[in-house]
Structure 1
C-alpha cells in the first residue's frame, strides 16, 4: 500500500503510528514549508533520520549536549575539509581522533532521530510519502560498534519522548504553531531532498534520488489500509461482508477529518493483547478522537509503555484485550496502576462472566467493552462490531475532554510538589490543596486520641479564592457508627450522599451544612494506619463529578511521603 498524503489530512504522529502498527519498512519523506526530513523504518522500528534544519545536525547536537568541545568539533571539521573527497563522516572522525566513545555516538544518533520527529510534529501543512522497502542508511548510522550496528529504536517510546519535548518547547515559546503557513500551494517545481541533509559537511556523498513531484494530493485514503487489514485478519468472511466492514471503518476514518477531536496528545490508550484487528479498530477510533494509541502483546513491553507515558505526562487509559492476563502483569498493574481508570475488552460470549472476580480490579474504575468474535455469524458479527465501535467511542468521549486533561495536569503538578515536601504538615497541605481544586470547601482533620481535630481549611472561614486558612481546631469525636470512623478503619475514600449525626452535630454546627448532602472523605495512610482525613463538600453549590481515580492515586502516592517525613521527624527527636 503506497502511504502518501498531506499532513493536513493525516498528522505526522498518526503516520508514524500507522507505519509502526502495520510493521512497514521504507523511507518516509516529509516535506513542509518549514523544512524537509526523512525517517527510516525497518519492520516498523525507526533506524535513522535526516533533516534540513541547520540546528538538527549531529555536530550541533553533540556540541549542545556538551559531549564534544568546540575545539574538538572544529578539529574534526578541519580534518574533514583537508581530507576532501576521502573524508569520513563526522561521527567517525570524532571517534577516531577526538576520543569520543562509540556508545556516545549511538546516543547522539538516537537524539538526532528524536529531535527530527519533534520538529516534524509542528508541521500541520505539508506532504509525506513512504518509499516502501527502500531504506537509505546514511554513513553516520553505519559507523557504529558491531553490537550496535542495527539501530532499531522502539517507535512508541521515541514518539512519546518526542511528544513530551514538543509540548515543552511549545509552552516555552520555542515553537510557535501560529507560524505555520496556510495551505500548501500546488508546487510548480519538483521538490528535491538536499544533498547535505545531515549538515556540517559531515556526510560522504549521498546517493542522488529522483525528485518527488506532488501535485494537488488527495486526502489520505484509509480504505486501502482497512482493506488490507480486513483481508488478512477476517479472511473467512464473504467479500460482501468484508466490504461492509471496510466501509464501516472508512466512514469512521473519514469522520475524523470532518469533526473536531475531543482528545489530546496528552492522553493515550495503551492496549495489551495480540488481536491485530482489534488493535486496528481501536487505533482508528483513537485517531478520530485525537488520542494517542500504543499497544503491546507481552508484559515486558506493556509495563514500560505505561511507565513511559506517566513519565512524559501522558495520561494512559489501560485497555486489556485478553481473558487471561498473566499473573505477574496483573499483580504489577494492581500495585502500580490500580487507581488509574481501567478499561478492558472481552469476547462477546463473556458477557455473563464475573469480570471483577476474574480480573480483580477495583470495579469503580473497570469499564468493560464487549467485542465480537471473529468466528461469529457474519450478520451478527457486523452488528456486534458496530456496537463495539460505538461503545469504545462513548468511553473515549468520557475520558478525553478538556476538564479531564486539566485534572490530569493538576495531578502531575501536585505529585511534583509532593516530591519536594519533606515535612508532614507540608504533605497534608498538598493533599488539602489538591482536593480543594474539586470542591468548594475542604479541610484537614488530624486524628488524635479518639477524636478528629480540624486543621487548615479552604473555603470555610473565607472565600475559596482566598486560599488556605488557619486552623479552626474544631474537635469531632470518632464514634463507632459514624462515616468518619468507617473511613478511618477501612482506609478507603468515601464520596457519596450522607447524613451522619456526628458530622452534623460537631462539624456542621461550626461550619454550616452544605447545600448538597454529597460528602468526600479521604484517609492518608501510613504503615496501615490512618493519620489524617481530608474532608470536602460542595458548599452552596450543586454537586459535580469528581475524578476519584486521580484522587485515589494521589493519596496512595502521598502515603509513603508522609511515612518518610514522620520517620525523619522521629529520628531527629
Structure 2
C-alpha cells in the first residue's frame, strides 16, 4: 500500500477531497470494526464502489428510485440464474432487456457510490489505505465502459456534496444508525431476494445471480471484501505482521514480540483523555511493512497522527496536509538497506529536497546498526536525529530484542518531540518580548515584530505610514535569503488614495491573515517583490496611541503555507505599540522636568 493512515486523525471527507485534488488513481480501502468498503479512483474521479454491506445491491437502489419494480427485478434475477455461463451483470441484463434506461442505470450506480460514502461517513475509527497498483472495478461499473463505450467518471466533489446532504438528512431524521440503506427503503421480499445467502435450493438467489462472483477471479482483487462484516482484530494483525517479517523466529520470541505490540495497542496510561491533542504528525517513509506497522502502533499509543507511504511522490501532499492541519511534520525515513528502489545517495537527495521545500519539516533518519557512514551523511544533509533500527531477521539473531529496543527508543523520541514541537517559536517570542523592553526608538521597536514574523514566514516587510502612502522600509527574505537577515530600506511606495487592503488596514487598525486577491497587492506590491507561491498573506498594524504608524507585511515566498501562531504575532505588535506609548510618555515627562 502506498498511502495509509488513521481515520481518527484524518476524516474520510478530507481523504476523498485529497485524492480528488491530487488526481490519484487506485483503490481506497477503508477498514473499521464495522467492516470494509472500497472506492475506486481514476485520475481523481470515482469510477466504482464496493459497499461494506453485501445486502446493498444496485437492484435495491433501482427499486427505491422507481426505475424498476419488484416484478422486473425478480424477472431479471431469474434470467441471470438461467443464463449459466452466459450470465451478465444485473445492470446489463436490465438494459439489454429494455427494462432499464442507460440514464437510470447510470444514476443508480452514482447513487450506490453516494450511499457507500454515506455509510463510511459514520466511521470515526479505523484505517485507510490507497493502493495505486490496484483498480478493481465491479462488474456493474465495468459494463458501461466495456459494452456501452461510456466511461464512468463521477465528479468527486458533487458526489461528496450529495453524500454529505444525505448524511445530514439521515442524522436529522434519526435513521443513520441502521446504515445508509434502511429496511424501509424497499419491500421485505426484495431484501430477501437480494441477500447473499448460500444456495440451498434452485429458488434461492445468490451472489452469483447478481453477477458479482467474477470479482474473485480477477488477478488484481481485493481479498475477502465480499465476506460480510468482520471484526477488526488487532491481535491477529500483529501476529500476521510478525509472521511476514520474522517467520523463522522461535515461538517464544514470537510471543514476546506479540505481547510487546499488544501492550502498545491501546492508549498510553499516562495520557489524560482530556488533554490537548498532539501537535505532531509522523510521516513514515519506508518499504518495510513491518516497520511501518510497528511505528504506526507506537504513534497510535501516544495519540499522535501517523501517515505511512512507500512512494516519494506522496510525501509532498502528506506534508502539506499535515501543515494545513496546524501540525508539525516529523518524517521518519527508513535506512537505505530497507529500500529496493532507493540508493543511499538518492535518499540523501530526497531528504535535502523535502527540507528545502518544507523548512518546518523535522527528519528522523533510521539507520542500520552495521552502517557507520550513512548517519554522518544524513546529519550533514539536515536530518535532526538518527536512530538505529533492528536489522532484518535474516541478518540478526537478536531480531526480537533489537526490535523492542528500537521501538522503545522511537517512543521516547516522539514523546519529547511532542513537547518541543512549538518550543522554537515560543523561545523566539520570549526573547522578542524581553528585547522590546530595552528599546526606545521607533525604528528599533518596529524591527522586533519584523524579526519575530520571519520565524514563521519566508518574506517580511515593514511599511511606515506616510502622507497618503506607505513606504517600504527594512525587510527579510526579499533582497536575499531569509538566513541573510534584515536588508536596508527598500523605499518603494504604495499609494493609499484608492481602495485597497492596505487602505483598509490603515483606516480600521485591524489585522488581516488569509488569502487575498486585492488588485493593489497584485499590481503594485508583487511588481516590486515578486508573486509568492500562495496568496496567503499577513498584514499586521503597529500603533502608537491608537494610530497606525506602521504595517508589517509577510508571506510564504516560494514555500507552501505552514502553521502560524497569529495570537503571538498580535501580542508582539500590541506590546511594541505599548513600548512606543511608554517611551513617548517618558520623553514628555523628561522634557517637562
- The TM-score normalised by the length of structure 2 is 0.44
Highest Rg: 1 or 2? Answer: 2
